Amino acid sequence: ESCEGGECDSFNLFTGSLLAMNFLMASRILSALHYHVSSSSASATKRCLGLCCNWHRSISGSGASAAADVEPSVAPVQIDHNQLLIDGQFVHAHSGKTFPTFDPRTGDTIANVAEADTEDVNRAVRAARKAFDEGPWPKMTAYERSRIILRFADLLEKHNDEVAAIETWDSGKTYEQAANVEIPMVVRLFRYYAGWADKIHGQTIPADGPYHVQTLHEPIGVAGQIVPWNFPLLIFSWKVAPALACGNTVVLKTAEQTPLSALYVSKLFLEAGLPPGVLNVITGFGPTAGAALCSHMDVDKLAFTGSTGTGKRVLELSSQSNLKPVTLELGGKSPFIVCKDADVDAAVEVAHSALFFNQGQCCCAGSRTFVHESIYGEFVEKAKARALKRVVGDPFKNGIEQGPQIDSVQFEKIMKYIRSGVESGATLESGGQRIGSKGYYIQPTDSMLIAKDEIFGPVQSILKFKDIEEVIRRANATSYGLAAGVFTQNMDTANTLMRALRVGTVWINCYDIFDAAIPFGGYKMSGQGRVRGFYSLSSYLQVKAAVTALKNPAWLSTVKVFVHS
């Protein structure tokens, strides 16, 4: 370890199991990765911990307590909706094509889903436009709209277990997380925005001269929305709820990896009394259905959550069509800063959760853990012990902390980062290879690229810092600016970091606190605009100024005629 110019480049890396398929046929084996990286500026010692699986092997390794499942459990739900929702009806794709959605636990097909193309997008947009221009939705009072949204929330709450099972089956997240955290959050968020529906109003403005000036806040029109695969239904709610509360109509494209939960809950919307065409759900692929939605001339608004690269493409398609406004919630490489006065045990646990939550597949994951040099050694040892205890297995089982990665594409992406570490000068002592003939089980390592790029997997870098000025500079030295965490007992330190970090959200002595009322979004290349809370409403509203002349001669002459008669 060596530091130059006040910066210490040494860091440790801990990783959780990266699983995509067939991990339930495997037991888990634990081992450590150790490698050394040298550069012209510093010599850095980096230790890595890998949690991985192998076929029919017993658990080994110091302090390991992992779940070893023999075979996958049967998902406790039936899939009965796999068609597009257009104009209040579930219909086949115009081409008749379908595509499979896979169980991340096994790679088996769950269902074949309608594959939308440009013609299907056109049908959905036409339905949304007609519903906005001519249907009962714009004629309803805001209170009536809120009642429909509340009825939907009640139905979703009633079907919590089925929806959570679909979410787990399709995405690989744990059932406990889906049923006890995410679906209740979705219900809460729809109720939150239902409460806003009849509280959206303009202002009266004291302009110069004999004029009455007011603003009207009107729905923007047809909203095109694209959601990702890591939180399919949660981000569905972040987009659909404010759009409907403001009186818009929606065409939503699901992620091709996780289409099932959105189709299921759209059925509940129809049961709640949502008029035909107000919510349309299409399933398909980005280059076809997604591109058609983004470039459609009759879509008035776009909202996208996904990678920064795809977000740039969404902006490009918007600019090439009708310059529709775009809200983007994109990638991140979020710092988690542990100051010298922090409670180390508490910081270790929160930092662990900040990274490994949802298999590390979280845009705001705290993937760069900065630890003050005075407590660095203690933190690393305790972080290692905590990582060794992480329980990986069938996400439908009780007590499981981590399920599989979403698919082979994500697996190969992480393997690519491992290879880049070796190619950058790292010597890989153990791990870092695919284990087993079927499953995607790996022990990843690190490199300078891994320390900068968003990996979207359970890979945690632990870096040493010397003082506040240094850690601010290093934390901000990225093109991303989505979120950050700070652990300290000093309020002045907390305030200094909170104001200095160029990110959209700062969590202090906590992480991943997502409330319906708290806005979320990024600085820099992490996006534009905000989701959730009051701030999200403005994304789905147009502001109209209405200016009326007082003492209008036309009005006065009308009054005189009325008096004479």
Give per-residue burial for 281-304: e unless 16+ CB within 10 Å, then b.
Answer: bbbbebeebbbbbbbbebbbbbbb
pLDDT of residue 106: 85
The CA distance from 65 to 388, in Å, is: 7
- Active site (annotated) includes residue 329: yes
For 84-201+217-331, CATH number out of 1.10.630.10, 3.20.20.60, 3.30.420.10, 3.40.605.10 equals 3.40.605.10
Average pLDDT, the chain: 82
What are the residue ranges spanned by the domains of the chain?
A: 3-67+332-394+403-508, 84-201+217-331
Nearest to 522 by CA among 325, 318, 304, 332: 332
Residue 483 pLDDT greater than 60, yes or no: yes
Percentage of the chain lying above the pLDDT 90 cut: 65
Inter-axis angle of helices 160-171 and 183-196, nearest 10: 120
Give pLDDT tens digits for 491-512: 999 999 999 999 999 999 999 9
The catalytic residue among 167, 329, 401, 454 is 329
Q: List all residues 6 or more positions away from 3 whose beta carbon is below 8 Å from its beta carbon.
A: 9, 42, 466
Q: Which of 327, 330, 329, 331 is nearest to 302 (CA)?
A: 327
CA separation for the pair 141, 276 (Å, rounded): 17
State the pTM of this model.
0.84
Q: Residue 559: pLDDT above 60?
A: no
pLDDT at position 411 over 90? no
| Predicted pLDDT of residue 556 | 58
Separation of alpha carbons 236 and 262, rounded Å = 7
Check residue 59 and give its pLDDT. Answer: 25
Calpha distance 565→231 (Å, rounded): 68
Q: Are strands 222-226 and 249-253 parallel, antiparallel or unpaired?
A: parallel
Per-residue pLDDT, 61: 32
Instruction: Please give the pLDDT value at position 379.
Output: 93
- What average pLDDT does range 216-230 have in this prediction? 97
Whether the pLDDT of residue 480 is over 90: the answer is: yes
Which of 41-45, 106-110, 310-314, 365-369 is predicted least confidently? Answer: 41-45
Q: What is the pLDDT of residues 324-333, one digit of tens each?
A: 999 999 999 9
Query: Residue 443: what pLDDT?
Result: 33
> What pLDDT band is residue 421 in, cutting at 50, 70 and 90?
low
Check residue 98 and give its pLDDT: 98
Instruction: Name the token pair of 355.
Output: 């990274």
- Please say if the pLDDT value at position 448 is more than 50: no
Q: Which CATH class is domain 3-67+332-394+403-508?
A: alpha beta
Grade residue 418 by pLDDT with cuts at 50, 70 and 90. Answer: low
Residue 9 pLDDT more than 50?
Answer: no
| Residue 442: pLDDT over 90 | no
- In this prediction, residues 378-401 reach a mean pLDDT of 87
Partnered with residue 338 across adjacent β-strands are 371, 487
**Calpha distance 450→248 (Å, rounded):** 41
Q: Residue 192 is encoded by which pair of tokens?
A: 């939150």
In this structure, the strands spanning 335-338 and 541-549 are unpaired
Q: How many CA atoms lie within 13 A of 366 on its CB side?
A: 33
In this prediction, what percent of the chain has a pLDDT beyond 70?
77
HSE (CB half, 13 Å, CA atoms) of 394?
16
